[in-house]
Amino acid sequence: MKVKEEHLMKRFKDITNKEMPKSNLAKDCIKAFVVGGLICDIGQVFNEIYGNLGLGVEETGAFVSITMIFLGSLLTGIGVYDKIGDFAGAGSVVPITGFANSIVAPAMEFKKEGFVFGVAAKMFTIAGPVLVYGIGSSIIVGIIYYFMTLF
């Protein structure tokens, strides 16, 4: 029995290795770097535009974040961001636009199930854990910082 299982496992690994798409790591890294950099450059352009309009540093940062989230959501909604993601891989996931994509894509996928059980329930399936742990850890760090400044 054990010999048969080992044979099946070897056969499974052989088939998997044969069918698995080959990745060119250097090429994938360059594409991710370039696309991620372009997304960040677009954010920097908006930063310069809003800064030149006379907004303060905090307001400029807020407007840039809002604009990039809007663009990521819009491009996801019209089906462009998925193509960018297919091409760039992690380069499209890391910036704030990738976060917007991770919220909008599941919401769009499940919209036919209705607003409550579809859009609202599935919207944070990917981004939800990031929000929970991000907010939770920021609260813990904030409390530690508060007590450290008391002394």
d(CA 81, CA 101): 7
- 67-120: per-residue pLDDT in tens? 999 999 899 889 899 899 989 988 888 778 888 888 887 777 777 777 676 666
d(CA 63, CA 51): 10
Q: Is the pLDDT of residue 135 over 70?
A: yes
The model's pTM is: 0.68
- 1-49: per-residue pLDDT in tens? 577 778 788 888 888 888 877 778 899 999 999 999 999 999 999 999 9
DSSP 92: G
Residue predicted with more confidence, 123 or 26: 26
Q: Dihedrals φ, ψ of 140, to 5°?
A: -60, -45
Cα–Cα nearest to 46, from 80, 77, 76, 70: 70
In the prediction, which pLDDT does 1 show? 59
Q: Is the pLDDT of residue 137 over 70?
A: yes
Q: Which residue do the tokens 């052989």 mark?
A: 14
The neighbour count for residue 51, using CB atoms within 10 Å, is 16
Helix, strand, coil % in the chain, rounded to nearest 5:
85, 0, 15
Under 8 Å CB-to-CB from 126, ≥6 apart: which residues?
102, 103, 105, 106
